[in-house]
């Protein structure tokens, strides 16, 4: 088949598979072919991958994981990720420099306060200090940001991954060793964190099927409420969330849905309805940097790429730095969103 016919090839694989969840051929096998087709088409047309994927030229804002908890680490911290997000920077290069320097400051702070074991890293390169409260981690991030001199430009984010914290039998969430017997308590917990710290991003604050809680928090807060497990890059779930106003941002994971065509449709649907879209790596990541090109080609506002640490995370930073340089040399460069 003609590799430039991406949609036709993806649809054929879905038809051959014939299942709702791509269980016959396997979603990861389908995805591997889908992304390889796009790379082959770009090479055939002698275009950079990002240029082949779209005509957007803005670099995304990096969303970087600095402290790991939950399933991604062996600490007592229930919250899965504490994030650092640049704002108001001149370009991706400056954002990367700020993150890298702040990460080093955090490493020194953690080593001095908790010992060498605190600077071990989790799945996504974030540190794993011996803490059990999100507030303690956020305080450490604020201290590192101030010491690095970037208090005006670096904000905070949380990925609660709350589906892992919910007990369906008892219908309660376990956060910081406490059982929240009703959604109001947990909503108040998040609102207090948002009020206390410069948090601009909150991902999966509730279980993936706790629609009412998502809806209430989205109404009460003015920050980015991001759906990952809630949406699973699925058009039906995204349409439901748009209709019910469950969140205001999509976490785009290509392997959740299985083909580039379906991922593109999910991103377009979200952006059409005024949502932000954050393309994301996975905890079990490789050195492949496809999502970096995809972020630029699709014109996505943010990219979640882990800490500036470990080769499979740094690969995305490096690819975006190279893309930025290419665009600058072609005099078509635009700054971050």
From CA 130, how far away is CA 201, in angstroms rounded?
24
Is position 124 annotated as part of the catalytic site?
Answer: yes
Is position 331 annotated as part of the catalytic site?
Answer: no
Catalytic residue among 22, 155, 253, 316: 253
Catalytic residue among 81, 124, 262, 285: 124
From CA 204, how far away is CA 164, in angstroms rounded?
10
| Catalytic sites, residue numbers | 124, 253
């Amino acid at each position: 088949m003609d590799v430039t016919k991406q949609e036709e090839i993806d649809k054929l694989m879905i038809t051959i598979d014939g299942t709702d969840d791509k269980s016959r051929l396997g979603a990861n096998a389908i995805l591997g072919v889908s992304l390889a087709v796009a790379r082959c088409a770009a090479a055939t047309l002698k275009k950079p991958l990002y240029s082949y994927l779209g005509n957007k030229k803005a670099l995304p804002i990096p969303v970087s994981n600095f402290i790991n908890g939950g399933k991604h680490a062996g600490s007592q911290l229930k919250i899965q990720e504490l994030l650092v997000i640049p704002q108001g920077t001149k370009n991706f290069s400056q954002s990367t420099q700020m993150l890298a320097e702040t990460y080093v400051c955090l490493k020194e702070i953690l080593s001095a306060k908790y010992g060498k074991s605190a600077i071990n890293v989790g799945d996504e390169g974030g540190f794993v200090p011996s803490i059990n409260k999100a507030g303690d981690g956020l305080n450490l991030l604020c201290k590192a940001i101030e010491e690095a001199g970037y208090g005006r430009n670096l904000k905070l984010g949380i990925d609660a991954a709350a589906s892992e914290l919910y007990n369906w039998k008892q219908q309660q969430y376990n956060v910081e060793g406490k059982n929240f017997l009703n959604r109001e308590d947990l909503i108040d917990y998040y609102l207090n964190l948002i009020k206390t710290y410069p948090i601009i991003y909150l991902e999966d604050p509730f279980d993936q099927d706790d629609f009412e809680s998502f809806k209430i928090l989205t109404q009460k807060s003015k920050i980015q409420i991001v759906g990952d497990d809630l949406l699973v890059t699925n058009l039906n779930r995204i349409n439901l969330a748009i209709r019910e106003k469950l969140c205001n941002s999509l976490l785009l994971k290509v392997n959740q849905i299985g083909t580039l065509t379906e991922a593109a449709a999910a991103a377009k649907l979200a952006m059409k309805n005024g949502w932000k879209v954050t393309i994301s790596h996975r905890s079990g990541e490789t050195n492949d940097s496809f999502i970096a090109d995809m972020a630029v080609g699709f014109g996505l506002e943010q990219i979640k790429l882990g800490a500036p640490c470990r080769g499979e995370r740094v690969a995305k930073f490096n690819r975006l730095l190279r893309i930025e340089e290419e665009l600058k040399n072609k005099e078509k460069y635009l700054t971050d969103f």
